[in-house]
Amino acid sequence: MAKLKSNFVCQECGYESVGWLGKCPACNRWNTFVEELQEGNAKTGGSGNIRDIKPVSINDIQVDSEERYTTGIRELDRVLGGGAVKGSLILVGGDPGIGKSTLLLQVCNGITAISRILYISGEESIKQIKLRADRLNIKNANLLMVSETNFRLIEKLVKREKPDLIIIDSIQTMFDDQLSSAPGSVSQVRDVTSGLMNIAKNSNITVIIVGHVTKEGAIAGPRVLEHMVDTVLYFEGERHLSYRVLRAVKNRFGSTNEIGIFEMRDTGLAEVDNPSMVMLSGRSQSVPGSVVVSSVEGTRPMLIEIQALVCATNFGMPRRMATGIDYNRITLLMAVLEKRVGMQLHNHDAYVNVVGGLKIDEPACDLGIIGAIASSFRNVAVDEGTVMIGEVGLTGEIRAVSQIDKRIMEAQRIGFKRCIVPSGNMKVIKQFRDIGGINITAVENVQEALDIML
């Protein structure tokens, strides 16, 4: 019998130690070490057990093209890079109740290129899943359901049923009975994910696993979990809002810049084909503090409304709040307004919000943020037919942005009449003949832009 050894593993990052430590030296967390028993490997003697490794020239390696199949959901296919790749391991993370299980059930109903799907749930019974499937009108006869958490039994089930797609909901509930640690621990998550990766690669089966997230928004469990899988998708959104954003933070078979937008309804998740119209619906007309910006996520341009509210503070320290935008970016842009434009914002509270629950982080929206803050401060509305594009520097200059043609054409398609852009983009704009019917105004600095819009 192999000798059992004991070690201590950090439940946050997976760092291992021979003794208990109060503070993890890797992630600096306190009281995260748990003792785990693992089966030690016997030392092998002789050279007969050592494989002879021979390198191969990169020019001699023959590879086949990636075999993909569509999931039946265009927004998901966009994020995956054109569809799911056979033999890939996909991790889907998100807050509880955000719609992860709903999305995967709709994937099971939309896929038509494969003949057998195995849905393994460790959190719900098959009757509970059936109730949700009836509500979503899912009637795929090739969808097989099972409620199980023992990974060894799941391995035998996969060998017997030979599915083309496996869905694990969720990875934190699965356990290997050969390990003494509890389900959801670092050792269990790492070992089960490694076994699923072997199934995906050796059997050419696509595996989708659901992962819980921590309070900070990261995938629960060791960071090695994200390194082991081929694709990491985050399902984002506020629970009290109907819109959801699917974002790829890692994708070995496609871009990580694409996003998919969904709307949560009673019948499930509905794709949003025209996000610009949805984000601008219900927009108030001629109200100070409201500005429309053009943002690009991957290859998709979107028009987003940014709202700002600036009012005199009642305390010695003004308050700054930002929703959907980096707080530090708001502070930086307000400092530019004070220094370069002369706006006395040091005794005013400022609240900035991105309508619709989206999160934007590209610098091309800087000019729109400054426009919204200045509009609210001066109590002067920006023309409702104006779109603002540009990155703002610390000296007050407006710098050129990428993909300016897509941004302007999206504004023209929605019906906007004027677009304020950086002067550095004018050389590029003049080369495109498709841009017409919209007034393009070039500006060089913040003061010039505010003189035009206010």
- Please, which residues bridge with residue 62 across strands? none
The span from the CA of 38 to the CA of 364, in Å, is: 52
Considering the domain boundaries, does residue 58 fall inside one? no
Tokens of 346: 């040091």
Are residues 250 and 365 part of one domain? no
CATH number at residue 353: 3.30.230.10
Same domain, 242 and 285: no
User: 413: how many CB neighbours lie within 10 A of its CB?
Assistant: 14
Q: Are residues 263 and 309 in the same domain?
A: no
pLDDT at 287 over 80: yes
| Of the candidate ranges 54-58, 66-70, 179-183, 378-382, the one whose mean pLDDT is the lowest | 179-183
Are residues 206 and 310 both part of a single domain? Answer: no
Given a cut of 90, whether residue 14 has pLDDT beyond it is no
Domain, as residue range, for 135 = 67-273
Which of 273, 308, 323 is the endpoint of a domain?
273
Query: Among 47-51, 181-185, 207-211, 284-288, which range has the highest average pLDDT?
Result: 207-211
Predicted local confidence at residue 407, as pLDDT: 93
Q: What is the pLDDT of residue 45?
A: 43
- Exposure on the CB side of residue 187, measured as CA atoms within 13 A: 19
Residue 46 has a pLDDT of: 45
Residues of the chain with pLDDT > 70, as a percent, come to 93
Lowest mean pLDDT segment, chosen from 84-98, 144-158, 227-241, 259-273: 227-241
**Higher pLDDT among residues 40 and 195, named by residue:** 195
- Model pLDDT, residue 288: 95
Is the Cβ–Cβ distance between 404 and 427 less than 8 Å?
A: no
> Considering the domain boundaries, does residue 346 fall inside one?
yes
Indicate the pLDDT class of residue 381, thresholds 50, 70 and 90: very high
Q: Which of 412, 446, 411 is nearest to 295 (CA)?
A: 411
Is the predicted pLDDT of residue 4 greater than 80, yes or no?
Answer: no
CA 378 – CA 167 distance, rounded (Å): 54
Tell me the whole-structure pTM to 2 decimals.
0.78
Q: What is the 3-state secondary structure (H, E, C) of the chain?
A: CCCEEEEEEECCCCCEECCCCCECCCCCCECCEEEEEEECCCCCCCCCCCCCCCCCCHHHCCCCCCCEECCCCHHHHHHHCCCEECCCEEEEEECCCCCHHHHHHHHHHHCCCCCCEEEEECCCCHHHHHHHHHHCCCCCCCEEEEECCEHHHHHHHHHHHCCCEEEEECHHHCECCCCCCCCCCHHHHHHHHHHHHHHHHHHCCEEEEEECECCCCCECCCCHHHHHCCEEEEEECCCCCCEEEEEEEEECCCCCCCEEEEEEECCEEEECCCHHHHHHCCCCCCCCCEEEEEEEECCEEEEEEEEEEEEECCCCCCCEEEECCCHHHHHHHHHHHHHHHCCCCCCEEEEEEECCCCCCCCHHHHHHHHHHHHHHHHCCCCCCCEEECCEECCCCEEECCCCHHHHHHHHHHHCCCEEEEEHHHHHHHCCCCCCCCCEEEEECEHHHHHHHHC
Residue 51 belongs to some domain of the structure: no
- Listed residues 248, 273, 298: the one ending a domain: 273
Query: Both 108 and 18 in a single domain?
Result: no
**Is the confidence at residue 358, as pLDDT, over 60?**
yes
195 and 288, same domain (yes or no): no
Out of 238, 273, 308, pick the residue that ends a domain.
273
Whether residues 429 and 413 share a domain: the answer is yes
Mean pLDDT score of the chain: 88
User: Are 265 and 310 contained in the same domain?
Assistant: no
- Evaluate the omega torsion of the peptide bond into residue 170 and state whether it is cis, within 30 degrees of 0: yes
User: What is the mean predicted confidence (pLDDT) over 390-417?
Assistant: 93
**Which CATH number goes with the domain that contains 143?**
3.40.50.300
Considering the domain architecture, whether residues 410 and 306 belong to the same structural domain is answered as: yes
Please indicate, yes or no, whether residues 283 and 423 belong to a single structural domain of this protein: yes
Q: Which of 255, 273, 294 is nearest to 409 (CA)?
A: 294
| Residue 390 domain-assigned (yes or no) | yes
Tell whether the model's pLDDT for residue 333 goes beyond 90.
yes
**Is residue 119 one of the residues assigned to a domain?**
yes
Domain membership of residue 92 (yes or no) is yes
**Is 104 domain-assigned?**
yes
182 and 253 share a domain?
Answer: yes
Q: Provide the pLDDT confidence category of residue 186 given band limits of 50, 70 and 90.
A: confident
Is 45 within the bounds of a domain?
no
17 and 132 share a domain? no
Domain total of the chain: 3
